[in-house]
């Protein structure tokens, strides 16, 4: 690092005390000098995604938080519910750094990464958090942004876009011809609508509000079912019968959701057999739980789905591990080429690092509401 390279930067940390108190703070942290294949990035745009809330809040409710510190160095303390404190006991005492994604400018580079010095990059950082002013990442964890893309446009080029693409890959790898997607008006869900339209992959979207259904129809979605409608069960079965969906990607994950999806797919498959079998249909139905928007335990009624069904947890790294490097490179290239269109993320509020720990702001982003994605601008 040269003399102008910063040695410290503000970093948001989340620490669980042994008594079950979660402490959030902005601290002045020393920056890791980049190793030969690493770069130090000054962060300019960092999304707040659902996956960031787990390290940040650990199941704590901002409504019960105590806010202290100063405007520039806020501090938050949240007493975790006993079940959350128990579930996260493994992190007691560790100052976790939340934040996976982001974009910014390379301000220092190791010997093998000099070509990136001064370039703006988009990144996914698995080891160090992006809720800070700077982050050090390997060259494999970042990619140069095309000149015509702002850091804001490139802030989430890996997490949601690659997940949406990998969902479509999994459908094909597992031999399905159509899929169901829940919480489908999410940022990721809107990308999936555009991907499936481009790829000719039939998609059944499940949402929970009329305005979300309209939003997706305005994007061109053909099959949208609203779980708040009295005839939801019939809507879902019709869409499954029309598309031939035998797999679901469920971001809700908890409660009755995976079971309802299995049951609907089994009902359609059993009806298509033309005769009754006590063993159910001969169609394999799969539900991939890939989010946990509903934190309650998953409830399955095993007798309702026939014999051929499968519920599993799905995560992006597993699918990427199944794909050849050239396929992943093609997916990355498709994302970088489509960040203004197919993979565009819409951020409704831009906030400073200190505002991440502001009472009203925390309550708003913790809701994970449709169309209310927050972007941190650590340069503010």
Ligand X SMILES: NC(=O)c1ccc[n+]([C@@H]2O[C@H](COP(=O)([O-])OP(=O)(O)OC[C@H]3O[C@@H](n4cnc5c(N)ncnc54)[C@H](OP(=O)(O)O)[C@@H]3O)[C@@H](O)[C@H]2O)c1
How many helices (H) and strands (E) the chain has is answered by: 10, 18
CA–CA distance from 192 to each of 166, 184, 287, 306, 314 (Å)?
Answer: 10, 8, 17, 29, 16
Least separation, in Å, of the C-beta of 293 and ligand X? 4
Return the closest-CA partner of residue 127 out of 106, 111, 148, 142. 142
Return the closest-CA partner of residue 212 out of 234, 233, 200, 229. 229
**Cβ-based nearer residue to ligand X, 151 or 160:** 160
Least separation, in Å, of the C-beta of 182 and ligand X? 7
The span from the CA of 319 to the CA of 170, in Å, is 7
Residue 289: which H helix or E strand, with range?
Answer: strand 285-289
Residue 224: which H helix or E strand, with range?
Answer: strand 223-226
**Cβ-based nearer residue to ligand X, 117 or 364:** 364
**Cβ-based nearer residue to ligand X, 10 or 57:** 57
Return the closest-CA partner of residue 1 out of 46, 23, 33. 33
DSSP assignment letter at 345: -
**Cβ-based nearer residue to ligand X, 124 or 269:** 124
**Cβ-based nearer residue to ligand X, 13 or 160:** 160
**Cβ-based nearer residue to ligand X, 51 or 105:** 51
Residue-wise burial string across 338-372, b where 16 or more C-beta atoms lie within 10 A, e elsewhere: bbeebbebebeeebbbbbbbbeebbebbbebebee
The span from the CA of 282 to the CA of 196, in Å, is 27
Place of tokens 């520039």: 72
Q: Using CB under 6 A, list all residues that contact ligand X.
A: 49-51, 159-160, 163, 183, 185-188, 208-209, 251-252, 290-291, 293-294, 314-316, 368-370, 373
**Cβ-based nearer residue to ligand X, 133 or 163:** 163
Number of C-beta neighbours around residue 71 at 10 A? 8
Return the closest-CA partner of residue 345 out of 78, 101, 92. 101
**Cβ-based nearer residue to ligand X, 134 or 374:** 374
Least separation, in Å, of the C-beta of 314 and ligand X? 6
Say if residues 216 and 189 touch (Cβ distance below 8 Å). yes
**Cβ-based nearer residue to ligand X, 38 or 52:** 52
The span from the CA of 250 to the CA of 187, in Å, is 14
The span from the CA of 312 to the CA of 258, in Å, is 10
Least separation, in Å, of the C-beta of 309 and ligand X? 20
| Residue whose C-beta lies closest to ligand X | 291
Least separation, in Å, of the C-beta of 283 and ligand X? 25
Least separation, in Å, of the C-beta of 208 and ligand X? 5
**Cβ-based nearer residue to ligand X, 31 or 192:** 192
Least separation, in Å, of the C-beta of 81 and ligand X? 17
Least separation, in Å, of the C-beta of 191 and ligand X? 8
Least separation, in Å, of the C-beta of 74 and ligand X? 23
The span from the CA of 296 to the CA of 254, in Å, is 5
3-state secondary structure of 78: strand
Residue 14: which H helix or E strand, with range?
Answer: strand 8-16
Least separation, in Å, of the C-beta of 282 and ligand X? 30
């Amino acid at each position: 690092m040269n003399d102008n390279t910063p040695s410290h930067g503000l970093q948001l940390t989340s620490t669980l005390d042994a008594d079950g108190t979660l402490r959030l703070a902005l601290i002045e942290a020393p920056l890791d000098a980049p190793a030969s294949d690493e770069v130090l990035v000054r962060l300019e745009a960092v999304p707040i995604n659902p996956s960031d809330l787990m390290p940040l809040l650990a199941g704590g409710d901002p409504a019960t938080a105590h806010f202290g510190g100063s405007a520039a160095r806020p501090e938050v303390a949240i007493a975790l519910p006993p079940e959350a404190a128990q579930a996260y006991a493994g992190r007691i005492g560790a100052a976790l750094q939340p934040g996976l994604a982001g974009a910014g400018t390379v301000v220092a580079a190791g010997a093998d990464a000099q070509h990136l010095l001064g370039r703006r990059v988009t990144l996914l950082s698995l080891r160090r958090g992006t809720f800070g002013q700077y982050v050090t990442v390997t060259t494999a964890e970042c990619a140069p942004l095309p000149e015509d893309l702002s850091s804001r446009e490139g802030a989430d080029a890996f997490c949601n876009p690659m997940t949406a693409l990998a969902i479509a890959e999994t459908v094909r790898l597992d031999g399905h011809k159509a899929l169901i997607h829940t919480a489908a008006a999410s940022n990721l869900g809107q990308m999936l609508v555009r991907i499936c339209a481009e790829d000719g992959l039939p998609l059944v979207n499940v949402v929970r509000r009329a305005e979300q259904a309209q939003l997706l129809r305005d994007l061109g979605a053909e099959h949208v079912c609203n779980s708040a409608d009295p005839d939801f069960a019939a809507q879902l079965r019709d869409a499954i019968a029309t598309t031939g969906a035998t797999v679901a990607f469920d971001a809700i994950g908890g409660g009755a959701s995976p079971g309802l999806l299995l049951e609907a797919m089994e009902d359609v498959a059993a009806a298509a057999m033309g005769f009754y079998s006590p063993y159910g249909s001969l169609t394999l139905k799969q539900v991939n739980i890939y989010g946990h928007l509903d934190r309650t335990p998953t409830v399955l009624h095993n007798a309702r789905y026939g014999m051929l069904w499968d519920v599993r947890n799905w995560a992006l790294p597993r699918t990427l591990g199944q794909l050849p490097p050239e396929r992943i490179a093609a997916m990355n290239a498709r994302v970088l080429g489509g960040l203004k269109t197919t993979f565009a993320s819409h951020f409704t509020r831009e906030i400073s690092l200190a505002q991440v720990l502001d009472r009203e702001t925390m309550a708003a982003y913790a809701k994970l509401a449709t169309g209310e994605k927050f972007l941190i601008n650590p340069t503010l």
